[in-house]
Structure 1
Amino acid sequence: MMRRPTQLYALAALAGVLAAPVAAQLQVPGVGVPVPPVGRVLGEVTDRLDRTVDTATAITEREARRLLRLREAALDRLLRANPQAIERDSAGNLARHGELLVTGPDAASLAVLEKAGFRILSREEIEGLDIAFVRLAVPAGMSLAEAQTRAAALAPDAQIEADTLHLEAGAPIATAALPVTALAAAAAAPVEVKVGLIDGGTGASVPVAARKGFASGAPAASDHGSAVASLLRAQGLTRLWAADVYGTDPAGGSASAVAKALGWLAASGCKVVTVSLVGPRSALLEKAVIAAQGKGVVVVAAVGNDGPAAPPAYPASYSGVLAITGVDRKGRALIEAGRALHLDYAAPGAEVWAMDAAGKRKAWRGTSFATPLAAARVAAALAQESNWRAALDREARDLGTKGADATYGRGVLCESCGKKK
């Protein structure tokens, strides 16, 4: 069975960045994006990710671009493996094959599009957020990119986009597993705030209050989703709602699936939603995020692992979303960490111990696993006081330049969380 696209993406990108020498310079020459000041290079990708060697070699623009090339190569492999399910949109992003989304559609625009051969596949509404959208099939013989351009010209006032894909922001590293009982022994005091996660499905070994699928074959247990859920459980969060946006669908993780999952979680009363996925900007998902925030939901999202020259990660880059990066156990920024249009906090993202779908406890790496740890601190702060931001700022340890910065945000949270016990 083919690996999920998210795993291909994360592992290829991580292997590329760790193969190149990286150090403490704060800017990539000519790229104009911040680079984490790590001061050391992480070693072998296979089973020694946390063995380090001293270096003073500054990252170059060539090395940053090399990471982007590796990212594109991984996406190309995914596309070639699933040509009936995935294609590129007019901006080059991966998206669901042969489908366009029209958010808040008006009858006149739809009539024009239908006359031009765009067939309505479904009329849908995002639960709890009062957002309507229409799913269109592109005309026969027309690529998604061509159809997107044509539809925009035919209905310039309509909000038309492809249903772009979101990919996971972390993966396990090769190391010995620990017994399942070790995780239960490390659990923190219970936190009663309802928390939702948007990810792959969770395994039976990680109890959740409710599960729901938003892709074909969902909910289906996944290692990544199970790891995120087990980290939340270990921090005392027992009221978990798990939304699976992947299932067994090769085009899982679409913007519409993530938006519908967010609506379900908001309608279920979740006050914090953690998202360890990254993708391009989506008008539909952005509208859903804004609507959920209007209902008091705090959305916490990973900046991804595509390196400092990668495009801004979404949903982390949407206004008001808490963007989370990762640090290793010595407080050094992950050299593969991506970027968002803003950065709020950092949390441990290397040697983070969590369960896989089979209930085995493994070490994981990536901003995917920093994000639920930060989300747990948000939930704990909400349980104690209304000004959760002030509580987090008091807790966060300031690193890097004094005050908020582009490498650590407002500081590092939950530094002892997710350690090997």
Structure 2
Amino acid sequence: MSRRSSSLAALLLTGAALAAGGAARAQLLPPLPVGGLPVSLPQAVRGMPVVGDLVRSLSPEERRAATVPSLDRLGVTSAVGELGRDALAELRRLRLAELVRGNPAALDMGPDGAPVRRGVLIAIDPTDAQLRALAAAGFAIETREDLGGLTSVTLGIPRNLSAKAAMKRLMAAAPGLAADYDHVYEPAGGTLLPVAAAALVGAAPPPMAAGRTIVMIDGGVAAHPSLAGAAIVQQGFAGPAQPTGHGTAVASLLVGRDRMFRGAAIGAKLYVADVYGGSPAAGSASAIVRALAWAASKKPDAISISLVGPSNLLLQRAVAILARRGIRMAAAVGNDGPAAPIMYPAAYTGVTAVTAVDARDRALPEAGRALRLDYAAPGSDMAAALPGRGYAKVRGTSFATPLVAARLAAATSGQALEREALKGSGRIGKGILCRTCRTDPKIVGAK
């Protein structure tokens, strides 16, 4: 490759009845083959002023590496922050279009180029009369989930209709019905990259009080020495839980412990909600909402969400229910640069929006634009676990998010959290949390 370039726990029934797959209780999934992880991303994006030049400059292999989402990617390129608005939008469009193209049976293209589940729409709190009208218009009820104050009905759309055409028919058949596409959300990560800057060796992470519970919504977590002593329960919401590089890295940043490597929430019980089942074409809004309901049933001190996507009405309402219950949630703002669309669920009220800083406390240039930015945490010049054994250098807002979630779980109040925040440079919200939670890649031999 060239170098150019009431409770929500009561909401969704309970536990296993909500999940599409089974729980891997109190154990980790088998490790992924480390050799299967991508190891580089083209640097051709740097300095390309014209969208056409940018796209034409990439070889087929480079274009695929730059545009295909992966559950095993553990970093992004800082060159994203140097792109102009048009070039950035083109790369994002290519990535999402490639995801849909590579999964034609599962995905369709929704409004604004956002991938959605093919063949379905989501109706929210429909009346019986509205459901009868939809049936007369050719829609079929596939699943119905009662969430206490919120009901979600998955509708099979009439054959040969695109998602957008089906939405028009739905609105005509049942005016006033709250409905949305079943959007697909991406892990807020990219490919593995070398880290040029020397990482700072921090002190031990702030202490975590005993008995804390954290839920992460991500991909599945593979076995790793740093996680061998951790209390972890996994549940699948898009089929059985499957190990991913992304989920393993995030879990290690929370509860990992292995000689010189230390997570930010050692001693906490970790519940892992796998919304992908090993497929980047999964991760739908409906799966995330089921995961949130399961998460709420665990009475967590915090939820870590390293996923990004468009606003979705079902997800928005579920997040609002958790927020009203006082459940703290941290979510990544993404890594598509400051010209990218605002990403959700980070932008929802009640969610702590997280960006990332490097070892010099500077905001990462590729961090996404935020409607509201709350805190930053280390997201570069740091190590996280690889599936099976060893460590990787990671970069991106995905990896800052679990660190902020750890501090949310430990904080006694919002005021205490603000007092803990440290100064930095660039757009970092109220400041940097968990600054000492970064593990120097050198001391653990990260690749």
Alignment-derived partner of residue 225 in structure 1: 247
Looking at structure 2, the residues matched to 168 and 362 of structure 1 have their Cα atoms a distance apart, in angstroms, of 17
Structure 2 residue corresponding to 1:102, chosen from 123, 144, 151 = 123
Per-residue deviation, residues 194-234 of structure 1 (Å, max 9, x unmatched): 11000000112234432111002x31111101111110111
Q: How far has the Cα of 1:350 moved from its partner?
A: 0.8
Structure 2 residue corresponding to 1:392, chosen from 398, 417, 420 = 417
Q: Secondary structure at the match of 2:372?
A: coil
After superposing the two structures, state which structure 1 stretch, 199-208 or 262-271, moved more: 199-208
Q: Output aligned runs, 1:21-32, within 5 Å.
A: none
Looking at structure 1, the residues matched to 355 and 131 of structure 2 have their Cα atoms a distance apart, in angstroms, of 41
Looking at structure 2, the residues matched to 51 and 100 of structure 1 have their Cα atoms a distance apart, in angstroms, of 35
In the alignment, does 2:110 pair up with 1:89? yes
In the alignment, does 2:403 pair up with 1:373? yes
Q: After TM superposition, which residue ranges in structure 1, 4 or more long, deviate above 3 angstroms?
A: 14-17, 49-53, 185-191
Q: Secondary structure at the match of 1:253?
A: coil
Query: 8 Å contact 2:76–2:396 — kept in the other structure?
Result: no
Q: Output aligned runs, 1:300-319, within 5 Å.
A: 300-319=330-349
Looking at structure 2, the residues matched to 267 and 295 of structure 1 have their Cα atoms a distance apart, in angstroms, of 12
Alignment-derived partner of residue 344 in structure 1: 374
Looking at structure 1, the residues matched to 94 and 373 of structure 2 have their Cα atoms a distance apart, in angstroms, of 27
Q: How far has the Cα of 1:399 moved from its partner?
A: 3.0
Structure 2 residue corresponding to 1:156, chosen from 175, 192, 213 = 175
In the alignment, does 2:384 pair up with 1:335? no
Q: How far has the Cα of 1:156 moved from its partner?
A: 1.9
Q: Secondary structure at the match of 1:114?
A: helix
Cα separation, partners in 2 of 1:110 and 1:338, compared to 1, 3 Å: same
Looking at structure 1, the residues matched to 315 and 78 of structure 2 have their Cα atoms a distance apart, in angstroms, of 39
Per-residue deviation, residues 275-313 of structure 1 (Å, max 9, x unmatched): 000010011111111111122210100000011111111
Looking at structure 2, the residues matched to 139 and 52 of structure 1 have their Cα atoms a distance apart, in angstroms, of 44
- Percent identity, aligned pairs only, is 40
Q: Secondary structure at the match of 2:326?
A: coil
Aligned residues: 359
Looking at structure 1, the residues matched to 438 and 325 of structure 2 have their Cα atoms a distance apart, in angstroms, of 30
Q: How far has the Cα of 1:153 moved from its partner?
A: 2.1
Looking at structure 1, the residues matched to 113 and 175 of structure 2 have their Cα atoms a distance apart, in angstroms, of 21
Cα separation, partners in 2 of 1:344 and 1:303, compared to 1, 3 Å: same
Per-residue deviation, residues 96-144 of structure 1 (Å, max 9, x unmatched): 1110000111111111111010111111234xx6532110111011111
Alignment-derived partner of residue 235 in structure 2: 212
Looking at structure 2, the residues matched to 65 and 329 of structure 1 have their Cα atoms a distance apart, in angstroms, of 30
Alignment-derived partner of residue 295 in structure 1: 325
Per-residue deviation, residues 143-182 of structure 1 (Å, max 9, x unmatched): 1111012211221211111100110112453459xxxxxx
Q: Output aligned runs, 1:257-268, within 5 Å.
A: 257-268=287-298
Q: How far has the Cα of 1:361 moved from its partner?
A: 1.4
Per-residue deviation, residues 34-58 of structure 1 (Å, max 9, x unmatched): xxxxxxxxxxx9xxx99999xxxx9
Structure 1 residue corresponding to 2:304, chosen from 240, 250, 274 = 274
Alignment-derived partner of residue 3 in structure 1: none
Looking at structure 2, the residues matched to 246 and 320 of structure 1 have their Cα atoms a distance apart, in angstroms, of 24
Looking at structure 1, the residues matched to 286 and 313 of structure 2 have their Cα atoms a distance apart, in angstroms, of 10
Query: 8 Å contact 1:351–1:365 — kept in the other structure?
Result: yes
Looking at structure 2, the residues matched to 15 and 159 of structure 1 have their Cα atoms a distance apart, in angstroms, of 44
Amino acid at match of 2:434: C
The normalised TM-score by structure 2 is: 0.75
Alignment-derived partner of residue 181 in structure 1: none
The normalised TM-score by structure 1 is: 0.79
After superposing the two structures, state which structure 1 stretch, 198-207 or 274-283, moved more: 198-207
Amino acid at match of 1:348: P
Alignment-derived partner of residue 180 in structure 1: none
Query: 8 Å contact 1:171–1:224 — kept in the other structure?
Result: no
Looking at structure 2, the residues matched to 231 and 144 of structure 1 have their Cα atoms a distance apart, in angstroms, of 38
Structure 2 residue corresponding to 1:193, chosen from 212, 228, 252 = 212
Amino acid at match of 2:101: R
Alignment-derived partner of residue 67 in structure 1: 88
Looking at structure 1, the residues matched to 77 and 330 of structure 2 have their Cα atoms a distance apart, in angstroms, of 30
Q: How far has the Cα of 1:269 moved from its partner?
A: 1.1
In the alignment, does 2:268 pair up with 1:238? yes
RMSD: 2.8
Alignment-derived partner of residue 133 in structure 1: 152
Q: Secondary structure at the match of 2:243?
A: coil
Query: 8 Å contact 2:141–2:155 — kept in the other structure?
Result: yes
Amino acid at match of 1:196: V
Unaligned runs of 5+ in 1: 1-6, 23-44, 177-184, 402-406
Query: 8 Å contact 1:109–1:155 — kept in the other structure?
Result: yes
Per-residue deviation, residues 364-414 of structure 1 (Å, max 9, x unmatched): 110000111111111121xxx2x2x1112111112348xxxxx11001111
Q: Secondary structure at the match of 1:70?
A: helix
Amino acid at match of 1:227: A
Looking at structure 1, the residues matched to 361 and 205 of structure 2 have their Cα atoms a distance apart, in angstroms, of 23
Unaligned runs of 5+ in 2: 1-36, 50-65, 67-74, 196-202, 256-262
Alignment-derived partner of residue 123 in structure 1: 144
Query: 8 Å contact 2:361–2:425 — kept in the other structure?
Result: no
Looking at structure 2, the residues matched to 163 and 359 of structure 1 have their Cα atoms a distance apart, in angstroms, of 36
